[in-house]
Amino acid sequence: MTGLLRHVSVSDLGALPETDAAFLRRLGGPTAIRVAGRDRSRTRVATTLLHGNEPSGTRAAHAWLRSGAVPAVDALLIVANVAAALEPPGFAWRTLPEHRDLNRCFLGPFDGGDGALAREILDAIEEAAPEAVIDLHNNSGHNPPYGVGPDPDPRSLELVSLFADRFVWSRLRLGALVEAVRSMPCVTVEAGRSGDPAADAVALGGLARFLERDTLFASESPLVQVLEMPMRARLRPGVRLAVGEAPAPDADLTLSSDLDRHNFERVEAGTAIGWCSATAAELVVFDDELGRDRTDDYLEASGGRLRTRRPIVPIMITTDPAIAAADCLFYAVRERAPAD
């Protein structure tokens, strides 16, 4: 144990400051905050700020703690990437330079500072033995709130229903927290776009329901749409990406600046999504489930425009070139077929 994750009770923090930035400065670094509940025999865990540019979870935790609400059971709130969030101008850095993406570190190897912190977060969750875990995030593009997880079981869907009415069933193994926590229900919640007050409200309302309800799991199935996520669209190495209203002269691929308006929409065949060279080779659509490159099935270049070759439902579209280069441009989903 390297001691990167500080453990405190809410009383140790004293009177909480009014602003989220001052709250993070009070924490000083990655912190696990315990709040005693009415039932001390059970625990629920909420993690947030794995990415420093996703503030809604932090704002929700801060506002909920300031409210003085008593949770139904013991609550453990883990606020992770404090340094990245505090780096000027604030909530602008996904991770600091020379650091790994923390939400890609949870499947190991647990080397370096980021790997060690991921290991400590997992250890804290395991020690708490919670009845459920939620991991709060934001998107960089326009998205409705939704949940993500590796299993669309009734308990996961019920957790998501506290925040949203869509669940994305992901079989990806990227090193995310939700992939590593499998001994209890765990979901990622994408509250909406970073900086959107509506996303902050989704995170706070859902967090309060998660922490304050006496019983999380009912017998009836929640009304949540399940979408399968088989594909990712990624830039090929070395591709220069721009975002704008016209092709950028120094870019290999320019994406429409309002591309994220298509999140969770059916994009019909022939829809232009940007400008490219003579081929669609700058972007690869990869089916992780089948292990196949399906770019030619879904994209084509025509007249200098990059177009869809067949209908596609994209989610998590980002119009931030840095995030697109470091992670992916979007994921593609399909609605789960009804069970036989």
Dump pLDDT digits (tens) for 117-171: 999 999 999 999 999 999 999 988 788 999 999 999 999 999 999 999 999 998 8
Contact of 273 with 259, CB cutoff 8 Å: yes
For the segment 308-337, the average pLDDT, to the nearest whole number, is 84
Higher local confidence (pLDDT), 284 or 133: 133
Q: How far apart are CA 66 and CA 195, in angstroms?
A: 20
Does 213 lie in the same domain as 283? no
Q: Looking at the structure, do residues 216 and 243 belong to the same domain, yes or no?
A: no
In a domain, 1, yes or no: no
Return the structure tokens found at 1: 């144990």
Q: Which two tokens stand for residue 114?
A: 């980021």
- DSSP one-letter string for 1-16: ----SEEEEGGGG-SP
Let me know whether 214 and 260 are in one domain. no
Total count of domains within the chain: 2
Whether cis (ω within 30° of 0) applies to the bond prior to 109 is: yes
pTM exceeds cut of 0.75: yes
Residue whose entry in the numeric block shows the structure tokens 């505090």: 86
For residues 38 and 9, give the distance between their C-alpha atoms in angstroms, rounded to a whole number.
Answer: 15
- What's residue 279's pLDDT? 63
| Sign of the alpha-carbon dihedral angle for 273, 277, 279, 281 | negative
Q: What pLDDT, on a 0 to 100 scale, did the predictor assign at position 278? A: 63
Check residue 302 and give its pLDDT: 82
Q: Of 282 and 132, which is predicted with more confidence?
A: 132
Q: Are 10 and 34 in contact (CB under 8 A)?
A: yes
Q: Give yes or no: residues 206 and 271 share one domain.
A: no
Residues 215 and 234 in one domain: no
The C-alpha atoms of residue 271 and residue 299 are separated, in whole angstroms, by 10
Q: Is residue 340 part of a domain?
A: no
Same domain for 204 and 82: yes
Q: How far apart are CA 86 and CA 290, in angstroms?
A: 40
**Domain termination site, one of 186, 205, 223:** 223
Q: Is residue 173 predicted with pLDDT exceeding 90?
A: no
Q: How confident is the model at residue 337, as a pLDDT? A: 54
For residue 84, CA distances in Å to 23, 55, 163, 308 come to: 14, 11, 26, 36
**pLDDT of res. 280:** 60
Instruction: Give DSSP secondary structure letters for 163-213.
Output: T-SEEEEE---S--HHHH--SS-EEEEEEEETT-HHHHHHHHHHHHHHHH-
pLDDT band at 301 (very low <50, low <70, confident <90, very high): confident
pLDDT for the residue numbered 338:
47
- Amino acid code (one letter) for 75: A
For residues 85 and 128, membership in a common domain is answered with yes
Looking at residue 334, its pLDDT comes to 78
Is residue 160 located within the same domain as residue 303? no
Does pLDDT of 184 surpass 80? yes
Residues 74-97, mean pLDDT to the nearest whole number = 97
Structural domain for 303, as ranges: 229-335
Is the separation of the CB atoms in 172 and 213 below 8 Å? Answer: no
> Above 70 in pLDDT, residue 281?
no
Can you tell me the mean pLDDT for 214-239?
Answer: 84
pLDDT averaged over every residue in the chain: 91
Among residues 216, 141, 146, which one has the least CA distance to residue 188? 146
**What confidence category does residue 335 fall into, taking pLDDT thresholds of 50, 70 and 90?**
confident
Given 188, 223, 258, the domain boundary residue is 223
